[in-house]
Amino acid sequence: MPRSYPVLLFFSVVLMLRCHGTSSTLLWCYCPPDANYTTNSTFQTNLHLLLASLSSSAAATGYSNDTEGRSSDQVHGLALCRGDVSSSVCQTCLDAAVQDIIQSCPNGMTSTIFYVDCLLRYSNQMFFSTADTSFRYWAWNTQNVSNQQQFETTLGNLMNDLTEKASSSPKLFAAGSAKVTSFDRLYGLVQCTRDLSAYDCYECLQYTLTFIPKCCSWRKGGKVYLQSCYLRFESDLFYNLSAVEAPPPRAANDDSGGKSNNAVKTVLLVVVPVAAALLSLLAIFMYCRRRKPAMPRRMQLHKRMFDNEDQQEIKSAESLLLDLEVIRSATNNFSDANKLGEGGFGPVYRGTLDDGEQIAVKRLSRTSGQGIVELKNEVVLLAKLQHRNLVRLLGCCLQEEEKLLVYEYLPNASLDKVLFDPVRRVQLDWARRYKIIEGIGRGLLYLHEDSRLKIVHRDLKASNILLGWDMNPKISDFGLAKLFDVDETRRNTSRIAGTYGYMAPEYALRGRFSTNSDVYSYGVLILEILTGRKNCGYQGSGNSIDLLGYVWRHWNQGDAMQVVDQSVVDRCQPQEVLRCMHIGLLCVQEDPAQRPSMASITLMLNSYSIGLPPLSAPAFVTRSITVSGSGVHGRDTQVSLQGREIYKGSTTRSAKESKNDITIRNEGT
Cα–Cα distance for residue pair 193/580, rounded to 1 Å: 35
Q: What is the DSSP letter of 412?
A: T
Helices (H) and strands (E) in the chain, counts: 20, 29
* Contact assessment for residue 617 and residue 590, using Cβ atoms and an 8 Å cutoff: yes
Cα–Cα distance for residue pair 386/493, rounded to 1 Å: 28
Per the annotation, the verdict on 459 as an active-site residue is: yes
Q: Which residues are bridge partners to 465 per DSSP?
A: 475
Distances (CA, A) of 53 to 15, 115, 129, 204: 14, 19, 20, 27
**Helix 4-17 / helix 87-104 crossing angle, nearest 10 deg:** 90
Cα–Cα distance for residue pair 477/362, rounded to 1 Å: 10
Cα–Cα distance for residue pair 115/98, rounded to 1 Å: 11
Q: Which residues are bridge partners to 363 per DSSP?
A: 404
Q: What is the DSSP letter of 559?
A: -
The helix (run of H) or strand (run of E) holding residue 81 is: strand 75-81
Query: Residue 455 — φ and ψ, nearest 5°?
Result: -115, 135
Torsion of CA 61, 67, 69, 70, to 10 degrees: -160
* Contact assessment for residue 139 and residue 223, using Cβ atoms and an 8 Å cutoff: yes
Cα–Cα distance for residue pair 275/519, rounded to 1 Å: 65
Cα–Cα distance for residue pair 65/194, rounded to 1 Å: 9
* Contact assessment for residue 583 and residue 612, using Cβ atoms and an 8 Å cutoff: yes
Cα–Cα distance for residue pair 447/381, rounded to 1 Å: 10
Among the listed residues 459, 518, 546, 565, the single catalytic one is: 459
Residues with a catalytic annotation lie at 459
